[in-house]
Amino acid sequence: MTTALLVGAGAVGVRAGRQLVDTPGLERLLVADRHAERAAELAEALGGSAVPYGPLPAGTDVVALAIPGDPAVPYAHRAAVAHVPVAAVSDDPTGLTGLLALDPLARDHGVLVVVGCALAPGLSDVLARHAADALDAADEVHVARVGAAGEACAAAVRRARRERPVEWRDGRPRTARRLGPELVWFPDPVGARECISVAGVETIHQAVPTVTRATLRAADVPPPRRRLLGPPRPRDDWGAARVEVWGWRASARDAVVYGVIERPGVAAGTVLAVATAKIAGLLPAVQLRTPAPGARALGAVVEPAPFLAELARRGVKAAAFEGVTVP
């Protein structure tokens, strides 16, 4: 009997919960949130049970963290100490760094902590790995993203756009100069968006360790539409990610470009649910690239092809750009 603890009942948590209860082999879903009433509401809707936010309930087999980085790190720490595997959705640079820093602890306790299970990082890293596998040698990865799942995610994107960007160059992350926006083409209906370089390239390097240059760009996230009375409208804009991987194929320079469009909450929730189910020992069709314990990025943990196939089966479909490279 597999019991999953879902922490966070926001835009991503709701979608992740729905996907988790639809996963064969998962018998029990526990839901925790800072706001107890939201946890109770989601648990009731999904046929699960609400539990207090903070402690790790006894009998938990796997933890899915659909919360920002700051609270996610101590939660993941508690789970790792209790030998319970964790999948975390946090996409803010501080949260990513804090979760990846749990690597020695996770190794010591023989547990897997999967970091960055969202649209980008997350699905974008898996696509980067898939693209790198299609080349003889990959050395350059450029990821761009549009959209945010909820207000916490939108605030993290705005903060990242204000801070100095970090690029992966010559074997290590380096703080780069802030350059002007660059026009990036995403699949329709998102189309062309102006994106600027931000931090968060560590997961790309983990997914494609041979990379010598990696960048992450993010488009601006507009503030939520206000109502005259009551809370702001929930976000329902399209999100997108574009992954461009350069390398060598048969001694010629070549690029593979993948893209994905989806509501950011749906994409992140589905990615988180599939990653959580896999590390709980479910979904036999999805394979782990490296099952060894540790805290690693999603792109370094899963085999990309079956993972993408499972996402496509659940409605999150990626696309390849078939274009003509100008020499």
| Integer CA distances (angstroms), 14 to 19, 44, 97, 241, 297, in order | 9, 12, 25, 21, 23
Q: Are 14 and 269 in contact (CB under 8 A)?
A: yes
Selected from 196, 287, 305, 314, the binder of other proteins by CB under 8 A is: 305
User: Whole-number minimum distance, CB 204 to other proteins, in Å?
Assistant: 17
Radius of gyration in angstroms for the set of CA atoms belonging to the chain, rounded to a whole number? 19
* CB-nearer residue toward other proteins: 164 or 253: 253
3-class SS of residue 14: helix
Sites for other proteins among residues 128-187 (CB under 8 A): 187
* CB-nearer residue toward other proteins: 9 or 257: 257
- Residue 59, both tokens: 């009998």
Sites for other proteins among residues 247-266 (CB under 8 A): 253, 255, 257-259
Tell me the one-letter amino acid at 241.
A
Selected from 244, 274, 278, 295, the binder of other proteins by CB under 8 A is: 244
> Does the protein bind other proteins through residue 228 (CB under 8 A)?
no
* CB-nearer residue toward other proteins: 87 or 308: 308
Cβ neighbourhood burial of 145 (10 Å; 0-12, 13-18, 19+): buried
User: Whole-number minimum distance, CB 258 to other proteins, in Å?
Assistant: 8
> Does the protein bind other proteins through residue 238 (CB under 8 A)?
no
> Does the protein bind other proteins through residue 325 (CB under 8 A)?
yes
| Integer CA distances (angstroms), 8 to 20, 50, 158, 169, 262, in order | 14, 11, 21, 35, 21
Q: Which stretch binds other proteins (CB under 8 A): 44-52, 76-84, 230-238, 305-313?
A: 305-313
> Does the protein bind other proteins through residue 309 (CB under 8 A)?
yes
- Count of residues interacting with other proteins (CB under 8 A): 25
Selected from 22, 27, 108, 188, the binder of other proteins by CB under 8 A is: 188
Spell out the long-range contacts of 56-60 with Cβ–Cβ below 8 A and sequence spacing 24 or more.
56/5, 56/82, 56/84, 57/5, 57/30, 59/3, 60/3, 60/4, 60/5, 60/30, 60/84
> Does the protein bind other proteins through residue 312 (CB under 8 A)?
yes
Selected from 246, 275, 277, 293, the binder of other proteins by CB under 8 A is: 246
Sites for other proteins among residues 15-54 (CB under 8 A): none
> Does the protein bind other proteins through residue 318 (CB under 8 A)?
yes
Which residue in this structure is represented by tokens 């802030």?
178
Q: Are 21 and 31 in contact (CB under 8 A)?
A: no
Task: Pick the closest to residue 31 from 60, 71, 2, 68 (CA basis).
Answer: 60
The residues that touch other proteins, with contacts defined as CB under 8 A, are 187-188, 244, 246, 253, 255, 257-259, 305-306, 308-309, 312, 317-327
